Structure 1
């Protein structure tokens, strides 16, 4: 395929540390994925075209996926890709979120993406065990690796949905980056010009589709962080089957209990 050849030549030029045979196997796996649309070790091997028996191709993919050298070189590939996406933008807006690797598995992906012409394009991602979900054990190394991937001098705005709390925001702050998050639950907020803490829920009745600036202050009583708080309520989506806003919250928000 012509596009595979272009990708091969680009990686060979931009990531010269990747061994030629390893790069060739990586391109073979990429082509097998595009042809078969199935991402598993066995299916990658079976979808490789040629005269070689499937069992030998499966072993080839097994060696590739287990190659520790390739895993150590992945940051170079992400770095090249990030330079293409963010090289001309000193302050990209990066969306960070968790997603399931596969249903019924105990692993999750933490992914950083940018929006390109309305589509989400991955900048960097890493898989963590479910026990490390939404914790500093996964967040801190992820942010450090994301910093290593981004172009030098890049100062992104990290955007997250509800669920990320002050330890995450503080880790983003430590990198000199900006952050934007959504507050969920009962969280305390104290304006700098006030001595009294307020629950974020006290602002909910006045929320509407026009953003309101509530002021600068401290967020969170136990481990407060400086921030600017805004109040906003998105317009209700017109859906035939209206579900509770609480539906699905317990899907990945529960930690493993060893069972």
Structure 2
């Protein structure tokens, strides 16, 4: 296809260290994924557009995923991609979150996505074993790599969910970057000229209008100076779509409902005179984009079906994530062209024109 050829020519020019044949095999696997193959070794191989047997095509993808040189060179593609989408914005909004990609073996991926209109586009992601999940050492490695691939002079705003705590915020701040997160659970907080109190004491004061609570100290044991904002999002009227029996047994429904019903206590190192409470709330609301992007990656019904992969090697998983990124880039480019030509209305199931 023409779009694959354009991408190959671009990467040949921008990433000259990657061998042309290795790059060609990588883009063949990307094309296989775009043609509908699940993001697994055998299905990518069986759908490969080559004049050979399925056995040899599968072996070709196997060699690609295990290629040690490509494992070292993949960051060059991430650098090119980051320069492409973040170069024009000196302060990009970057969404960071964890997600499991192998539910049985609990292999995890830590992803940084840049928030755009409607969907987050992956900037960089890396796979880890579950033992490395949410550890300060892993976070530091990831931030160092993210710092390396971002364009020079970029000062991003890192938006993360309630799973990231003070250690993470300090690591981001040491880079000279801005951070924004949510406080959940039971955390001690000390507002200006007030005593220490539990964060949940503030929840009854929340309403639909975002409020700036002032400067505060977060966590009694190792306090972090920051700015606090509080808002209670209006109910969106969503209903649980799980089967009644499944819903009763599945804890996820209750956890998601509790998270949605709690007010947002947002903390950040961005001064209030730079971004006010309304702007901070809108910024954090973009975080849902990365959850939608994870579905695009893992879902067999709505995405690339990475959930079906059975690899036990982190390095091979990283190459599958790279293939997913290149497929995402091509779909994004095609979407921009389609929107420019107003072709998107032909694919709608409704007649909405305002979005």
Instruction: Give the alignment's TM-score, normalised by structure 1.
Output: 0.91
The alignment status of 1:218 with 2:201, answered yes or no, reads: no
The alignment status of 1:24 with 2:34, answered yes or no, reads: no
Q: Which has the higher helix share?
A: 2
Q: Tell me the residue number matched to 1:238.
A: 237
C-alpha spacing 1:146/1:248, structure 2 compared with 1 (3 Å): farther
Q: Please report how far the alpha carbon of residue 167 of structure 1 lies from its aligned counterpart in structure 2 after TM superposition.
A: 0.6
In the alignment, is the contact (CA less than 8 A) between 1:109 and 1:126 conserved in 2? yes
Task: Name the CA distance, whole Å, in 2 between partners of 1:143 and 1:240.
Answer: 37
Task: Name the CA distance, whole Å, in 1 between partners of 2:230 and 2:181.
Answer: 12
In the alignment, is the contact (CA less than 8 A) between 2:37 and 2:47 conserved in 1? no
Q: Tell me the residue number matched to 1:99.
A: 99
In the alignment, is the contact (CA less than 8 A) between 1:187 and 1:200 conserved in 2? yes
Task: Name the CA distance, whole Å, in 1 between partners of 2:50 and 2:254.
Answer: 52
Task: Name the CA distance, whole Å, in 2 between partners of 1:239 and 1:61.
Answer: 42
In the alignment, is the contact (CA less than 8 A) between 1:95 and 1:113 conserved in 2? yes
The alignment status of 1:74 with 2:84, answered yes or no, reads: no
Q: Tell me the residue number matched to 1:151.
A: 151
Task: Name the CA distance, whole Å, in 2 between partners of 1:8 and 1:201.
Answer: 53
Q: Please report how far the alpha carbon of residue 118 of structure 1 lies from its aligned counterpart in structure 2 after TM superposition.
A: 1.0
Deviations 1:192-216 (A, max 9, x none): 434x211111100111121111111
Q: Tell me the residue number matched to 1:193.
A: 193
Q: How many residues align?
A: 248
In the alignment, is the contact (CA less than 8 A) between 1:36 and 1:43 conserved in 2? no
C-alpha spacing 1:188/1:33, structure 2 compared with 1 (3 Å): same
Secondary structure in structure 2 of the residue aligned to 1:162 = coil
Deviations 1:94-149 (A, max 9, x none): 11111121432320111111122211100000111112211213211111111111
Q: Tell me the residue number matched to 2:85.
A: 85
Task: Name the CA distance, whole Å, in 1 between partners of 2:172 and 2:12.
Answer: 33
Q: How does 1:1-259 map to 2 (within 5 A)?
A: 1-194=1-194, 196-241=195-240, 243-245=253-255
Any gaps of 5 or more consecutive residues in structure 1? 250-259
Task: Name the CA distance, whole Å, in 2 between partners of 1:216 and 1:184.
Answer: 18
Any gaps of 5 or more consecutive residues in structure 2? 242-252, 260-355
Secondary structure in structure 2 of the residue aligned to 1:26 = helix
C-alpha spacing 1:187/1:73, structure 2 compared with 1 (3 Å): same
In the alignment, is the contact (CA less than 8 A) between 1:96 and 1:158 conserved in 2? yes
Task: Name the CA distance, whole Å, in 1 between partners of 2:37 and 2:85.
Answer: 25
Question: Which gives a bigger RCO, structure 1 or 2 (Cα 8 Å, sep 6+)?
Answer: 2
